[in-house]
Structure 1
Amino acid sequence: MPEKVKRNFVSEKNLSRKAASFNLAKEVVESGNQESISKTAMAVRQLANFANEKYDLKNLVKLDAENMIDFAEHLSERVDSGEISKGHATNIISSLNRVFQYYYRDDLTISAKDFGINRGERFNNIDKSISNDVHDKFSDFLTEKYIEKGDIRYEALRLQIELQKEVGLRFKESVLFNGHKLHRDGRLDIDKGTKGGQLRTLHATDSVKELVKYVKDFRKEYGLSKSLIPDQYDFKQWRFFAYNTVKTFNNENNASYNFHANRHNYAQLKYQNLTNTLPPVKSGHTKEEQLKHIADKNNITVEQAKELDYNARMQISEELGHHRIDISNYYLGK
């Protein structure tokens, strides 16, 4: 087998430049297909701009696997906010993986599935939540690892996914959660790891209060001073552990568990509680059918059902930290 020739990223230092990214893409896309070249160049520029702004890196050769997890989460957040579709995000990842494989940098490739970025239109009424069975299976997997290895990280990660599912927290919000912002009247403040450090307040149910208490007791028992991250690890190390654990679980169980899907579960259950009906992404109803269904289930007029549906979506959007009703379509269907 011939020895691999060491390749490096194109000599141009700044791949955010159109000419530089296009030259790299022409080298990578050996078929010469112009559409593939353009897509690859675009993906490279997006990564280069991200690396430049976040790490002050001008040359992609200095990227590492943790940087790529950052970028994948960045794409996931753009999808989450409705800025880009999942299909667009997946195309970016696919193009970049092609580049990395060409340059023998398999350590930089990322899986769209692991970050909950699957192909599809932005609001295509496809349910992106994780079934309770799969969630429970992953939870049991973490408990077994915790008992088998005596490694508290697995129990901390289990608590993190329960916070995501029960409170609708993003990945960073859940891992930085410390349990100290639960007020006596049931208000739960979320301010760590939020976008722009923006505070949002939720109402804690009895099950959430119980979970928060367990988080506080767990942190106290094991001396975790700031959050669910053991003190000897930083956030990047924790995130790397968390995503690798998910990857191991998915490979061993032929599953597609991802952290972001927990926010879908939260939004859908909240909608059901607020409207007394399943969301369209679960029921398969059209908009008109959904409103009639809400009206019938609650013994109200269709006009009142329309208002109830709107208010539920607005509340869910606020609780997820979006403040835009159209984003709720991504979680609930329309």
Structure 2
Amino acid sequence: MALVGRRDGRNFGYGRQLSYAGRRALEDLFAGGHFATVKAHGDRWQAFVRWCRSEDGPGYNDARHIDLQTLEGYATHLHQQIQGGELCIATAQNRLSSVNRTLAALRGDQDVRIVSPSHTLGQQRSTVRTRAPDGQDLSKVRSVIEELYKQRHERVAAIVMLARTTGMRLREAILADLPRLHREAKHLGRINIQDGTKGGRSGASAPRWIIANEEVKAALQLAREVAPARGRNLLDRAESYAAFLQRTVLPARAILHRHGIKGFHELRAAYACERYEELTSRAAPVNDGHGHCIDRDLDQRARQQISLELGHYRIDVVSAYIGGRS
């Protein structure tokens, strides 16, 4: 397929959408053949595009903006998925290789690429958190919420509150069944996070109960007040999850940045640190610069509980939120 426009145009002339442009460039590269190869590279390119649009990605929809730093950020993301048990090393390496191939097809050169995906993924820094998470100061979080309201980002304010008070992921906060959670908080004193979870971890086989204290109840009430009419979650009935991310969540991230909060994931880590202190009566390791001495069994039990509340079900992943073991 010929270029839509000049190579110096949006997505190097392959159209307005990053996802579409990558597939068209691959079809050009393989001259309309090698269908299985094109599909494999195309599917992996779509995973990269989804990351670009996520809370941790750069928000790009134009391949001209993708540079080496972007690819290194994606490599870090893949490495974290490996550490979390969500990807095997071979899959992650294939995804990086396909991004290299697709970007080269779009650009017409190999000036922006990860030279060795296997080396890059093998040499990523440890995922043990060494920096205290943003958003632990609740007064700072309240300031963020106030500005979000002023800028008419009420639904994003609800996401911030849910992430900070319950440890929900971004997707979980957006898709949370608010009427059900409200009933559980009212009648049971706890809520079960089940909607929008990773890897199909939902239902009775994967309960994820969170204590519904006053802060959680306030966050749920706020979310119900700003949710679209007749909806069960923060999405309008005619609105897709991807569209909400692109049009509403991503533009509001600048407000979080202005208040010193890197992203929604930081609020989830802040929740984990708070829970560690509640469970052990000691500051989370990442908040204690000299590394306090704590009973190892108590530390282990706290990490196990936090792993369940965050929906990871693997105790070693908790170090990415609260720091390493003492």
Aligned residue for 1:214? 222
User: For 1:94-124, what per-residue CA distance to the aligned partner results, in whole angstroms no more than 9, with x for missing partners?
Assistant: 994896487259xxx9xxxxxxxxx962334
Q: Which residue among 286, 299, 307 is the counterpart of 1:309?
A: 299
SS in 2 for 1:161: helix
- SS at the partner of 2:192? strand
SS of the aligned residue for 1:231 comes to coil
* Counterpart position of 2:317: 327
Does structure 2 retain, via aligned residues, the 8 Å contact 1:15–1:48? no
For 1:11, the equivalent position in structure 2 comes to 30
Shift of residue 127 of structure 1?
2.2
Compared CA separation, residues 169 and 99, structure 1 to 2 (3 A): same
CA contact (8 A) 2:156 2:249 kept: no
Task: Output the amino acid matched with 1:189.
Answer: N
> Is 1:204 aligned to 2:203, yes or no?
no
Whether the 8 Å contact between 2:156 and 2:252 is mirrored in structure 1 is no
Q: CA deviation at 1:129?
A: 1.9
> Which residue does 2:53 correspond to in 1?
69
2:126 paired residue among 122, 127, 149? 122
1:194 aligns with 2:193: no
Matches within 5 A, 1:166-185: 166-177=165-176, 178-181=178-181, 182-183=184-185, 184-185=187-188
Question: Retained in 2: the 8 A contact 1:84–1:122?
Answer: no
Deviation string for 1:152-202 (max 9, x for gaps)? xx1011101110110000111100121423241312011111120414221
Distance 2:146 2:97 in 1: 32
User: Do 1:190 and 1:201's aligned partners in 2 also have CA atoms closer than 8 Å?
Assistant: yes
Q: Deviations over 1:234-265 (max 9, x none)?
A: 111112124421454367x4956212111101
Q: Which amino acid aligns with 2:267?
A: N
Say whether the 8 Å CA contact 1:165–1:265 is kept in structure 2: yes
Does structure 2 conserve the Cα–Cα contact (< 8 Å) formed by 1:165 and 1:266?
yes
Root mean square deviation, CA, Å: 4.3
- The within-5 A match list for 1:128-277 is 129-131=133-135, 132=137, 135-146=141-152, 154-177=153-176, 178-181=178-181, 182-183=184-185, 184-195=187-198, 196-198=200-202, 199-219=207-227, 222-249=228-255, 253=258, 257-277=262-282
Q: Unmatched 5+ residue regions in structure 2?
A: 1-5, 15-24, 58-73, 113-122
Please say if residues 174 and 234 of structure 2, whose CA atoms lie closer than 8 Å, have aligned partners that are also in contact: yes
CA-CA distance at 1:317 after TM superposition:
0.3
In structure 2, relative to structure 1, the CA distance for the partners of 1:210 and 1:194 (3 Å cut) is: same
d(CA) in 1 for partners of 2:167, 2:50: 24
**Count of residues paired in the alignment:** 258
Q: Displacement, 1:207?
A: 1.5
Structure 1, residues 260-303: CA drift from partner, whole Å, max 9, x if none?
Answer: 11110110110011111111111134xxx43x2x3xxxxxxxxx
**1:122–1:278 CA distance, 2 compared to 1 (3 A):** same
Contact 2:144/2:259 (8 A) holds in 1: no
Which consecutive residues of structure 1, in runs of 5 or more, have no partner in the other structure?
22-43, 55-62, 110-118, 147-153, 295-304
CA distance in 1, matches of 2:83, 2:132: 12
Structure 1, residues 124-156: CA drift from partner, whole Å, max 9, x if none? 43226224376445323311111xxxxxxx101
Does the Cα contact within 8 Å between 2:163 and 2:268 map onto a contact in 1?
Answer: yes
Q: Distance in 1 between matches of 2:281 and 2:169?
A: 26
Q: Distance in 2 between matches of 1:190 and 1:323?
A: 14
TM-score of the two chains, using structure 1 as the length reference: 0.62
Sequence identity percentage? 22
Deviation, 1:15, is 9.0
Cα–Cα, structure 1 residues 123 and 207, in superposed 2: closer, same or farther, change >3 Å? same
SS of the residue corresponding to residue 202 of structure 1 reads: strand
Distance 1:125 1:257, change over 3 A: closer
